[in-house]
Amino acid sequence: MSIVSNLRADPKRELWFAWYSTVAFYSLYSVVFFGLTRTQPPGKPWLEPEQTVEWFAGRQDGLLVGFALIFVLGGWSATAIALIAYSIRRMSVSRAFAYSYLVLYLIAAVPGFLFICVAMTVGAMRPERSPEAQQWLYDLGFLSFSGTMGVFLVGSLIWMTAILLDKNRVFPRWFGYLNLCNALTEVVIAPSWIFQRGVLAWDGVIAWWIDVAVFGTYTGVFIYLLREVIVRDDFGRGPLPDAPPGRPRRWHPLAKVVR
């Protein structure tokens, strides 16, 4: 069987596309933010204007190239959100949960994700800009990134509630509680604008490092669990069946379609 006929025949092809896109997007995100632009871990808060000019100068090419990639491919993040919303719709709870989650994350993506990309690109674009203006962009970029955590927090709580009320066993209940852990760590970042230094500043041990450790674990877990949901999905309305034993570990373009 050819790849094309397999693709046409597999009813889950869109779901698998969305899942692989999710993996690709988060990988891109990590490479761009941590490697290319080095905006994560974040720069120190409350820098003087001259220090922010230095910060931009030290990362100029990385910022321009990295965020250019995000501007082109950033829309890919929609697949991750859509897949999660799909999994919530598959639950026995009201569709309102899925729609709220979708709306929340779509709204949050602009300030929580794109602002920093725009602000930092603008800063890198013209290094000769006045230091005060560079400082303004620096503050705007990082503050919008951390200050919008409250929105994601509510999203986690929506997903948690849906999972705990769900009778279709789409996700294991411990993952519902993991959403609570994630939401609680996001509480700590919102007031980061109060602190110039220390553990609760936007680059602080608690507000950033521990939070990212928890968030990273959480993201890895839900990417794995979304895969399980796709494998188990029967496109019905009732409880999700258990995964069939001995199933192929990966969707392979040349594997026989199992349905």
Partner 1 sequence: MATATDTTDTSPDERVPGETGMWFFVLFESLIFTSYFCVYLYFRTQDEGAFLEAQSALRLPLGIVDTIVLLTSSWAIARSVQEARAGRPAAARRLAFVTIGLGAAFSALKLVEWAHLIGDGHTFTSSDFMQHYFFLTGMHAVHLLIGLVALGILVHQLADPHRRSQETIETCATYWHTVDLYWVLIFAVLYIVR
Q: Does 225 bind partner 1 (CB under 8 A)?
A: no
Here the tokens at position 44 are: 């120190």
- Pick one of 200, 223, 225, 257: the residue that binds partner 1 (CB under 8 A): 200
Q: Does 195 bind partner 1 (CB under 8 A)?
A: yes
Axis-axis angle for helices 49-58, 131-147 (nearest 10): 80
- Tell me how far, at minimum, the Cβ of 187 lies from partner 1, in Å: 6
> How far is Cα 229 from Cα 99, in angstroms, rounded to an integer?
19
Residues in the chain: 259
Q: Does 185 bind partner 1 (CB under 8 A)?
A: yes
- Pick one of 210, 212, 223, 257: the residue that binds partner 1 (CB under 8 A): 210
Do residues 253 and 1 touch, judged by C-beta distance below 8 A? no
Q: How many chain residues touch partner 1 (CB under 8 A)?
A: 23
Alpha helices in 188-234 (DSSP H): 211-232
- Tell me how far, at minimum, the Cβ of 83 lies from partner 1, in Å: 22
**Sign of the alpha-carbon torsion through 19, 25, 30, 35:** positive
- Tell me how far, at minimum, the Cβ of 154 lies from partner 1, in Å: 14
> Which range in 52-60, 116-124, 195-203, 237-245 contacts partner 1 by CB under 8 A?
195-203
Here the tokens at position 142 are: 């990082």
- Per-residue binding string, partner 1, 140-179, x by CB under 8 A, is --------------------------------xxxxxxx-
- Helix, strand, or coil here: 190? helix
Nearer to partner 1, 73 or 221 (CB): 221
Nearer to partner 1, 18 or 158 (CB): 158
Q: Which residue has the tokens 């409250």?
A: 150
Q: Does 205 bind partner 1 (CB under 8 A)?
A: yes
